[in-house]
C-alpha cells in the first residue's frame, strides 16, 4: 500500500448568500467542516486565496500537521480558465437552458459554482505538474463529511495508505450505466459522489483532460453543470479508466483503506402521521401551490411543446 497525497481547495464564491437557506454555506461553515478531518496525517495540498491561507494553515498546525501541509495561493481563480468561464456564464444566463432544467434556481446552474467544482481536477493536475504528488492521489472536498455526517472526528487521526491500482476510483449512489446522462443533466439527479476520488498519479492529467472535455461538450449544448455530471461523462467517454463503486454517501474513505473509521448510524426521521399526510395531499390536489417545482416544471414542458407543435 502506498501513502496518499491529498489535494483540496477552498474559495469563497458566495454560497453564504444563496437564496435557498438550506443550501447556504458560509466560509466559516466550511472552515468548521475542515476542522473535522484536518487532523489526518497525510501530506495535504490546499489551493486557496491569500486571505484564507493563514486560517487554513492555522487549523492544520493546531493538530500538529503544519509540516505535512502545502498551501498554494491563487488570487486569480476565474482567470485560470477564463475563456471557458466566460462561455459558462453565457450558457447559465440562457433562459432556454434554465427552462430545460428541473430546478432553474439550483446552485449547479451557477457558473461560479460549476467552474470551481470543475477546477478540482485542474488543481490536481497543477500539483502533478509541480511534482508534489506521491504515487497515490486522492481528492477530498474541503467540507468532506459536512463536519461529521458519517464519521467521528478523532478517527481521522491516522495516515491514510492505499493502492488505487491502475484505475480512477469513483463512488456512485447507483450505476452510471443505468441512466442516460441527459436525464441526469435535466433532472439534476445525484449519481456520482463528488467529495472524494482516488487514483494513481499517472492518471491525474488524463482525468483533468476528460473533465475539461466534458465541460466543452456541455457548452456545445448551451448547458453547464457541476463535476458530478462531468465525472459521469468522463466515465462514459473512457469507462476502461474507471473503477466504479456503488455505495452510500461519504463511504469512499471507509471502502478504500479507512477500515477503522466508525460510521455513525443514519438519522431516523419521524414519519408523518398518515392522516395528516392524506390531508396534505388532498389540499395539494385541490388547491395547487403555484410555486411547486413539479408544477412549474410541467408548465415549462407544456409551453415548450406548444412552441414547437402548437396547441
Q: Is 226 a member of any domain?
A: yes
246 and 284 in one domain?
Answer: no
* Domain-located, residue 265: no
Residue numbers in the chain where pLDDT is lower than 50: 15-18, 20-24
Q: Based on the domain organization, do 251 and 289 belong to the same domain?
A: no
38 contact partners, CB below 8 Å, separation of at least 6: 59, 60, 62, 63, 65, 156
- Residue 308 is predicted with a pLDDT of 78
On whether both 19 and 148 belong to a single domain, the answer is yes
In which order are the strands placed within the sheet that holds 242-246?
A: 69-73, 44-48, 4-10, 136-140, 196-200, 168-172, 242-246
Is 32 part of any domain?
yes
Residue 94 located in a structural domain: yes
Do residues 246 and 283 both lie within one domain? no
- pLDDT score for 176: 96
Helix (H, G, I), strand (E, B) or coil at 303: helix
Shared-domain flag, residues 204 and 132? yes
Domain identity same for 292 and 250: no
Q: Does residue 51 lie in a domain region?
A: yes
CB 118 within 8 A of CB 124: no
- Same domain as 245, residue 298: no
Assess if residue 267 is contained within a domain.
no
| Same domain membership, residue 295 and residue 164 | no
Query: Is position 97 within any domain?
Result: yes
What pLDDT is stored for residue 20 in this prediction?
46
What SS3 class is residue 208? helix
CB atoms within 10 A of CB 217: 14
Contacts of residue 163, defined as CB under 8 A and 6 or more positions apart, other chains included, come to 1, 2, 136
pLDDT, tens digit (0-9, with 9 covering 90-100), for 256-285 = 999 999 999 877 666 777 667 766 666 666
Residue 305 and residue 244 in one domain: no
According to the model, what pLDDT value does residue 294 have?
Answer: 79
Residues 95 and 125 in one domain: yes
CA-CA-CA-CA torsion for 250, 252, 257, 263, nearest 10 degrees? Answer: 30
Residues 78 and 212 in one domain: yes
Structural domains in the chain (count): 2
180 and 291 belong to one structural domain: no
- Beta carbons of 208 and 134 less than 8 angstroms apart: no
| 24 within domain boundaries | yes
Q: Which of 94, 288, 287, 250 is nearest to 172 (CA)?
A: 250
- Domain range for 223 is 4-255
Measured CA to CA in angstroms, residue 175 lies from 42, 185, 193, 207, 210 at distances of 30, 16, 12, 19, 19
Name residue, grid cell 414519519: 271
Cell numbers 482525468 correspond to 207
Give the whole-angstrom CA distance, residue 164 versus residue 200: 6
Kindly report the CATH number assigned to the domain that includes residue 179: 3.90.550
Other C-beta atoms within 10 Å of 105: how many? 13
Buried b (16+ CB within 10 A) or exposed e, 38-63: bbbbbbbbbbbbeebbeebbebbeeb
Contact 77, 40 (CB under 8 A): no
- For position 18, what pLDDT does the model report? 47
Distance CA 217, CA 84 (A): 12
Alpha helices in the chain (DSSP H): 27-37, 50-62, 82-92, 95-100, 111-129, 181-187, 204-220, 227-237, 252-255, 274-286, 293-309
Q: What is the pTM of this model?
A: 0.89
Amino acid at each position: 500500500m502506498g501513502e496518499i497525497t491529498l489535494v483540496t481547495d477552498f474559495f469563497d464564491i458566495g454560497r453564504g448568500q444563496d437564496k435557498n437557506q438550506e443550501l447556504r454555506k458560509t466560509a466559516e461553515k466550511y472552515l468548521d467542516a475542515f476542522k473535522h478531518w484536518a487532523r489526518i496525517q497525510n501530506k495535504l495540498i490546499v489551493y486557496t486565496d491569500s486571505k484564507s491561507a493563514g486560517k487554513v494553515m492555522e487549523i492544520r498546525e493546531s493538530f500538529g500537521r503544519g509540516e505535512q501541509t502545502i498551501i498554494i495561493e491563487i488570487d486569480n481563480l476565474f482567470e485560470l480558465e477564463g475563456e471557458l468561464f466566460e462561455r459558462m456564464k453565457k450558457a447559465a444566463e440562457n433562459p432556454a437552458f434554465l427552462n430545460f432544467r428541473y430546478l432553474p434556481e439550483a446552485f449547479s446552474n451557477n457558473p461560479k459554482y460549476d467552474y470551481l467544482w470543475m477546477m478540482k481536477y485542474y488543481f490536481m493536475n497543477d500539483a502533478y505538474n509541480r511534482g508534489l504528488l506521491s504515487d497515490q492521489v486522492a481528492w477530498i472536498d474541503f467540507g468532506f463529511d459536512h463536519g461529521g455526517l458519517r464519521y467521528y472526528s478523532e478517527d481521522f487521526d491516522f495516515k491514510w495508505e492505499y493502492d488505487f491500482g491502475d484505475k480512477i476510483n469513483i463512488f456512485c449512489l447507483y450505476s452510471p450505466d443505468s441512466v442516460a446522462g441527459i436525464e441526469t443533466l435535466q433532472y439534476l439527479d445525484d449519481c456520482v459522489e463528488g467529495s472524494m476520488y482516488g487514483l494513481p498519479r499517472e492518471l491525474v492529467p488524463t482525468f483533468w483532460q476528460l473533465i475539461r472535455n466534458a465541460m466543452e461538450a456541455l457548452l456545445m449544448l448551451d448547458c453547464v453543470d457541476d463535476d458530478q455530471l462531468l465525472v459521469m461523462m468522463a466515465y462514459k467517454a473512457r469507462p476502461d479508466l474507471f473503477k466504479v463503486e456503488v455505495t452510500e454517501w461519504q463511504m469512499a474513505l471507509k471502502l478504500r483503506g479507512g477500515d477503522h473509521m466508525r460510521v455513525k448510524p443514519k438519522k431516523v426521521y419521524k414519519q408523518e402521521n398518515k392522516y395528516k399526510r392524506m390531508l396534505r395531499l388532498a389540499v395539494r390536489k385541490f388547491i395547487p401551490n403555484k410555486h411547486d417545482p413539479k408544477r412549474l416544471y410541467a408548465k415549462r414542458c407544456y409551453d415548450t411543446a406548444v412552441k414547437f407543435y402548437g396547441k
